Structure 1
Amino acid sequence: MLSTGRHLVLGDIDGPHRLWIRDPLKGSALAYVIVRDEAIDLRQAAVQRLDRRLAGAPPMRLPPGFAPTPFQQRRLNMLLDILDAVLGRERTGITTHEIARCHVYPAMSIGRGNEWKSSAERRRTQRLIDEALALMNGGYRALLRG
């Protein structure tokens, strides 16, 4: 229980329901509050899905955009691994070349020196590092919108 209410994660076959319940009064009915923004359609679908489950209906498929695809999951996991490596640079001294070798191109032999500095692999690795940092610095909010 937090001072702002209670955060709950209810498990379901088709994916969890994440709720924030603000100090409910005993015996009072629950109300759904939906923020009216660019994600309103997704929010309404989530409320409808939860309401159906609370009424005892069978699970329904997740609406499109509700959860990342398997490809998006792999990419986001890779970006998290890259971010961990970048943030640990002071401690570990890991280089961009090692990040590429460990996280982006694990099955490839990546050259060193001038070959590495002028390679497409180096440019892509740097773009992925930039993307991981951008997600950390607020870009993750776009993921929440679906």
Structure 2
Amino acid sequence: MVLDTADPDLGIATSVTLDDWPLILVDRHLSNGRHLVLADTDGLHRLWLRDTSPGRPLAYVIAKDASLDLRLAAVRRLDRRLAGAPPAKLPRGFMPTAFQRHRLSLLLDIIDMAKDREYPEATTYDIARALLYVDMGVGRGTDWKTSSERRRTQRLMEEAFALRDGGYRTLLRG
């Protein structure tokens, strides 16, 4: 979520003080502003304050794109908390489910293994044995080439590489 100095014509008189937030997990001052991750019982708030001048009124900057509904929900959620409202259930799309987290972790492990120096030329078979079928004996030769395990491994590798090559952007939209 992006916050920037409010235009004086908007008539915003109050400033936002985030230094009083109960738990700030990340607080980085970079050349393009201040980046924060605020802990909350209902989930994290990720903020980018483009103007770091203290005491200035801030306004939410919301990009009009395919994620507009999710961005508006994030703004409402933070605004409620800043006004003192109790935590609420996260809107749908904010966090992956347990199954999605497990699958994404697996895909990241596949990407890591495929580019790892320890496995410079990791084959489909190597990835299957190391990550997918650890406790199961995966056959060699014709058994492997015609197996459903090999096809599943190939599909997961394709999905992992698609994620790496730009597909991760769809995750950001929820």
Q: Could you say whether these structures have the same fold, taking a TM-score greater than 0.5 normalized by the shorter chain as the test?
A: yes
In the alignment, what sits opposite 2:119?
92
Matches within 5 A, 1:32-43: 32-43=60-71
Q: State the Cα distance separating 1:95 from its structure 2 match.
A: 2.5
Deviations 1:77-135 (A, max 9, x none): 111111110011x5424332121122122232211111111112111111111111111
Letter in 1 for 2:151: R
The number of equivalent residue pairs is 145
Matches within 5 A, 1:36-51: 36-51=64-79
Q: 2:95 aligns with which of 43, 64, 67?
A: 67
In the alignment, what sits opposite 1:103?
131
Deviations 1:2-48 (A, max 9, x none): 11111100001111100011024332211101111111111111111
Q: 1:123 aligns with which of 151, 157, 167?
A: 151
Structure 1 distance, partners of 2:78, 2:132, is 38
In the alignment, what sits opposite 1:25?
53
Cα pair 2:110 2:127 within 8 Å, conserved = yes
Structure 1 distance, partners of 2:52, 2:59, is 10
Q: Which runs of 5+ in 1 are unaligned?
A: none
Structure 2 distance, partners of 1:26, 1:92, is 50
Which protein is richer in strand relative to its size?
Answer: 2
Q: State the Cα distance separating 1:138 from its structure 2 match.
A: 1.0
Q: % of aligned pairs identical?
A: 61
Provide the TM-score with structure 1 as the length reference.
0.93
Is 2:83 the partner of 1:55?
A: yes
Which protein is richer in helix relative to its size?
Answer: 1
Structure 2 distance, partners of 1:61, 1:106, is 37
Larger Cα-atom Rg: 2
Deviations 1:55-83 (A, max 9, x none): 11110110011100000000001111111
Provide the TM-score with structure 2 as the length reference.
0.79
Cα pair 1:24 1:30 within 8 Å, conserved = no
In the alignment, what sits opposite 2:162?
134
Q: Which runs of 5+ in 2 are unaligned?
A: 1-28
Letter in 2 for 1:54: L
Structure 1 stretch displaced more, 98-107 or 14-23? 98-107
Structure 1 distance, partners of 2:78, 2:124, is 44
Letter in 1 for 2:32: T
